[in-house]
Amino acid sequence: MKKAAQKVRDTDAPEAFHVSMALIDESIRRDFGKHLGELLARHDPPWGPSDLARKVFGTIDGTATGFAKGRDLVSKYLRGITFPNNKTLDAIAKALGVAKADVLPPAYRAVLRKGQRQNYIKETDDGFFEVRIEGKVPHDVALDIMSRYLAGERVYKAHVEAQQLKRGKT
C-alpha cells in the first residue's frame, strides 16, 4: 500500500521564489520546453530561440542584433533536454515580461516555492523511501544522518543487485 508523502516545512529559508531543482524530472523538462515555446510564440512579434537567448544571455559582439550567446542552451530548454537554473529562470521571466511563476507550466508551479524548505519522506514502488532533508543541524547530528543515509544506500544497492541477479541481469 502506497503511503502519502509526509511534508515538513521550515520557514527559515529566504523569501525569494525559487524552483526546487530536486523535483525537476524529464516530464517537467519536456512540459517546460513546450510551455516556453508557447510563450515565445505569443510574444509580439513571435520570438525564436535566438531572440530569447539574446535577451537572456546577450550577444557575442555586445550588440542588440548580434549572434546570440546561449542559443543552444535555449534550444535544449525548448526540447526538454535540460532545465534552467533559478538565475536563468529569473532572466527568462524578465525577458518575456512575465512573473517567474508564469514561466513554468501551470501543472508544475508546485515546484516553485516561496521562503520554505520542502522536506519529505515518500515510499517508492519498490518499498524503499525517498527522503529529502534541507536544513541546519549540529555537526554530530549531520554526521549521524549521513552515516545512516550511507548505510541505507548500501542496503538499497544490495537489494537492487539481488533483484537484477534474480532476473538474470548482471
* Contact (Cβ atoms closer than 8 angstroms) between residue 46 and residue 40: yes
pLDDT in tens, 86-113: 889 899 999 999 988 888 887 666 655 5
In contact, 29 and 80? CB cutoff 8 Å: yes
Q: What is the mean pLDDT of residues 38-51?
A: 92
- Name the band, by pLDDT with cuts 50, 70 and 90, for residue 169: low
pTM above 0.75, yes or no: no
Set of cell numbers at residue 45: 512579434
Q: Give the chain's domains with CATH numbers.
A: 6-13+117-166 (no CATH), 17-114 (1.10.260.40)
Decide: 103 and 19 in contact? Cβ < 8 Å: no
Provide the pLDDT for residue 66.
77
